């Protein structure tokens, strides 16, 4: 190949300087950086990849006036909790004793050394001793205070339980007799109700079992104008079933002192005894007595004997009217005694 026609290119010094200036500047800054960061330069020169391990323990500087904790409050130096001086056990609260027991338990469970387990067991022994002394004093007080002695309410013995049930059963008989003297029952049925046919014999059993008490009279009311199988004596419903907002048949309702309608107006009182079948005459008697007691139709003595299981228990009304001054706890016994004087 011939180059005879090529001319030597003239080199411009200024153009050469423009071309090499960036190269020199880059080498200058690299040398300056490696001098300031020898650890990085050493790793770089050794050909190691940068992994960021050099910043594992790096803690950025934060001015004190803007330092915040995780809750956004000014961060303060953590101070060790003040040492507590020993104090008499009588000055401890049950909460403090519980915290002592819990701390000892947790420490013993997580680090069961002889020292930790022994300390926990001894703290537990202290609490058991305190509880024992309290229980002894409680029993002593209960023995000498008839209101606090729960066995004066209902005896926990077998004979006491039998006596209580017998007394309540007698109260039920008295209550049903008193209610039989004052009114009677309505039983709502319909011809398609299988349970209604089973309910009517229970009402007959109640009526026959009332001797020597007054029989509890009842009237059968059919909501569809037809009697259940085997029964002929009934009256059709005149809208009373709906008026009383009854849901199902059979439904039994007690009517105290029943009277005839006056000018088409019904002034009777109706008390629902049960909705649904009652399978036993004793249960039906109890239900009747309960509505009589709740409505205060029966005598006070019958009410008291029926409520034998609540003997000595203050009523909701009495508790609501009780006024206690927390600053004078010594007055509480007298207040309770006065409240319960008629409850036994």
Note the pLDDT tens digit of each residue in 159-179: 667 777 888 888 888 899 899
- What pLDDT, in 10s, does the model give residues 93-106? 888 888 888 999 99
Alpha-carbon gap, residue 90 to 224, rounded angstroms: 76
pLDDT at 158: 66
Could you tell me the pTM of the whole model? 0.53
Q: Which residues pair with 254 in a beta bridge?
A: 185, 271
**With 70 as the cut, is the pLDDT of residue 7 above it?**
no
Alpha-carbon gap, residue 13 to 21, rounded angstroms: 12
- What pLDDT, in 10s, does the model give residues 129-156? 988 999 999 989 988 888 888 777 666 5
* Position 36 confidence tier, pLDDT thresholds 50, 70, 90: very low
Question: What's the mean pLDDT in 115-124?
Answer: 91
Indicate the average pLDDT of the chain: 77
- Residue 174 · residue 298 · CB < 8 Å: yes
pLDDT at 40: 45
pLDDT at 275: 93
* Position 29 confidence tier, pLDDT thresholds 50, 70, 90: low
Q: How far is CA 285 from CA 161, 199, 278, 295, 321, in A?
A: 20, 13, 10, 16, 34
Rg (C-alpha) for the chain, rounded Å, is 47
**With 80 as the cut, is the pLDDT of residue 110 above it?**
yes
**With 90 as the cut, is the pLDDT of residue 252 above it?**
yes
Alpha-carbon gap, residue 194 to 266, rounded angstroms: 30
Q: Identify the CATH homologous superfamily for domain 167-313.
A: Glutaredoxin (3.40.30.10)
pLDDT at 74: 52
């Amino acid at each position: 190949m011939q180059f005879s026609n090529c001319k030597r290119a003239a080199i411009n010094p200024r153009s050469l300087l423009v071309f090499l200036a960036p190269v020199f500047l880059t080498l200058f800054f690299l040398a300056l950086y490696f001098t300031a960061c020898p650890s990085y330069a050493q790793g770089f020169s050794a050909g190691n990849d940068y992994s960021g391990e050099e910043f594992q323990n790096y803690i950025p500087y934060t001015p004190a006036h803007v330092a915040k904790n995780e809750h956004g409050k000014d961060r303060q130096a953590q101070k060790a909790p003040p040492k507590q001086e020993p104090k008499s056990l009588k000055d401890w609260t049950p909460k403090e004793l519980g915290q002592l027991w819990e701390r000892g338990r947790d420490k013993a469970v997580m680090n069961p050394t002889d020292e930790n387990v022994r300390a926990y067991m001894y703290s537990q022994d202290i609490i058991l001793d305190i509880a024992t002394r309290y229980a002894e004093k409680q029993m002593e007080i209960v023995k000498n205070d008839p209101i606090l002695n729960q066995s004066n309410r209902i005896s926990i013995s077998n004979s006491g339980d039998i006596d209580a049930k017998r007394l309540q059963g007698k109260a039920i008989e008295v209550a049903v007799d008193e209610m039989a003297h004052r009114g009677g029952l309505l039983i709502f049925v319909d011809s398609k109700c299988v349970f209604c046919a089973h309910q009517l014999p229970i009402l007959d059993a109640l009526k026959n079992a009332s001797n020597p008490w007054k029989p509890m009279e009842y009237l059968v009311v059919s909501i569809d104008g037809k009697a259940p199988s085997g029964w002929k004596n009934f009256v059709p419903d005149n809208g009373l079933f709906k008026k009383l907002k009854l849901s199902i048949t059979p439904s039994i309702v007690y009517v105290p002192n029943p009277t005839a309608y006056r000018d088409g107006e019904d002034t009777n009182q109706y008390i629902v005894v049960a909705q649904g079948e009652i399978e036993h005459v004793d249960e039906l008697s109890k239900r009747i007595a309960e509505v009589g007691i709740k409505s205060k139709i029966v005598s006070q003595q019958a009410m008291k004997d029926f409520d034998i299981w609540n003997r000595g228990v203050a009523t909701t009304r009495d508790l609501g009217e009780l006024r206690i001054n927390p600053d004078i706890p010594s007055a509480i016994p007298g207040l309770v005694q006065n409240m319960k004087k008629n409850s036994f």
